[in-house]
Structures are given as structure tokens and as C-alpha cells.
Amino acid sequence: MWLVKIYVTLKKGLLDAQGKATQNALESLGFKEVEEVRIGKYINIEMKGQNQQMVIQRVEEMGKKLLANPVIEDFNYEVEVLK
């Protein structure tokens, strides 16, 4: 079994209204060092797969077909062996 940690984020350059609002809130709490906040989605998938390469291939397909909208979002992931 494999554990895939998937991160879906708004593309760089697009206004992340949630991130901006959160950044403002952090600043008002005194966290003046915060430069930028971007909010995305974290998706955890446990899945079967013969080897890492095949898992990556399937995950790429999932990203393209459903998990991210390439018009506005970037799609990144990490694959680990699930013990």
C-alpha cells in the first residue's frame, strides 16, 4: 500500500482571497513577519500499486481528471510506502 499526500494550490499570480484574509488576521495578531499566506487543499490517498512509478502515473491522472482544475490550480504530491 502507498500513501499519497496531495497538495492543490491556487496558481501563483492568482489572488488567493482566503490567504490574503488570513494574512491580514495574522498581521493584526502581531505576526508582522508574515510575507504571504496561500491556502490550498490537502488530500490524503491510500492506494494500491505495484511500484512507485505506476502509483505516480495514476496520481497524475487523478490530478488531471478530477483533483485539480489546471485553469486555476497547481497540483503537487509526495508518495510514501504505507507501513
Partner 1 sequence: MKFGVIQFPGSTCDYDCFYALNDVLKVEVEFIWHKQTNLEGYDGIILPGGFTYGDYLRVGAIARFSPVMSAVIDYASAGGLVLGICNGFQILTEAGLLPGALMRNNSLHFICKYTYLKVENNQIPHTGSCKGGQVLKVPIAHGDGNYYIDNYGLSELIKNNQIVLRYCEEDGEVTSKANPNGAVYNIAAICNKEGNVLGMMPHPERCVEDCLGSSDGKYIFNSLTSFIKKG
Contact residues for partner 1, defined by CB under 8 A? 10, 14-15, 17-18, 21, 41, 66-67, 69, 71-72
Q: Show Cβ contacts of residue 70 under 8 Å, excluding neighbours closer than 6 positions.
A: 64
Task: Please say whether the beta carbons of 71 and 8 come within 8 A.
Answer: no
User: Nearer Cβ to partner 1, position 17 or 34?
Assistant: 17
Least gap, CB of 39 to partner 1 (angstroms): 10
Closer residue to partner 1 in complex, CB, 54/70: 70
Contact present, 80 and 10 (Cβ < 8 Å): no
Q: How far is the CB of 83 from partner 1 (least distance, A)?
A: 28
